[in-house]
Structure 1
Amino acid sequence: MPHFIRSTTRPRRCSTISAEHDQAEARAFAAIACAAPSAAGALIAYAEAEAEAMLRAHPIVVTALVDAIVEKGTLSGIEVDGIIMQAMAAEGLALERQRRADWTRVEQSAARFVRS
C-alpha cells in the first residue's frame, strides 16, 4: 500500500518514501503472489498497465486526489475512497447532463423537421 494511503479513520503523517521503496514492495508482493518467479515481472507489468489505464480513463479522480494530497499531505484510506466516490459521482452527473442536453437538441431538431 502506498505510504500516503492508510486504512485508519484518521490520517497519519509519514516520512517520505521513495518510488524505489514502492517498486521493492511490488516485487515482494509479486514474488508471494506468483508461483513461477518469471511470472512476477509479468504481474507487475500487468498491474502497471491496468493502473495507467484507470488513471487515464478518470483524470477528474486523479486531479481530485492530487488536490487533496497537496492540501492535506496525507490521506486515510477512507478519505481516498470518499474523494474517489465524489469525483466519480461528479463525473457521472456531468455526463448525464450532457446526454440530456444532447437529447434535447435531437428532439428540437426532430420537431423542426416534422414542421417543415
Structure 2
Amino acid sequence: MTAEAAVVLSVLVAFTMALVWGLLVVAAQIQCVDAARTGARAAARQDPADGVVTVTREAAPRGARVTVTREGERVRVTVVAEPPGLHGLPFEVREEAVALVEDTVGAGEAGP
C-alpha cells in the first residue's frame, strides 16, 4: 500500500507542477500580447522611440526583449520573453503587433 501511495503521490505532484508551469507560460504570453499592443499604439502615435520601448517593457514580463521597426506606413512591435521558471531552457514566448502610423491614416481620403 505505501509503495503505491508513494508512486501516486509523486505523479500527482509532477502533474500539479506541470499545470502551474503551463499557467505561468499562458500568463507570460498574455503579458506579451498586451505589451506588444501597447507599444504598437504608442509607436502609431509617433511617441519617441525610447518612450515606446519604455512603455512596452513596463507591460511586458521581466527581462523581455522589445523590438520596434517601421515599415512604410506601419510600425511593428515585437516582444520576446522567457516564461518564469524556465531559465536556461530554449523556450520563449513571442508576440507581434502591427499598427498604421496615425499621420498617414486617412491621408488619401477626401473629406465631405
Q: TM-score, normalised by structure 2?
A: 0.37
Q: Highest relative contact order (Cα 8 Å, sep 6+), 1 or 2?
A: 1
Q: TM-score, normalised by structure 1?
A: 0.36
> Which one has the bigger helix percentage?
1
> Which one has the bigger strand percentage?
2
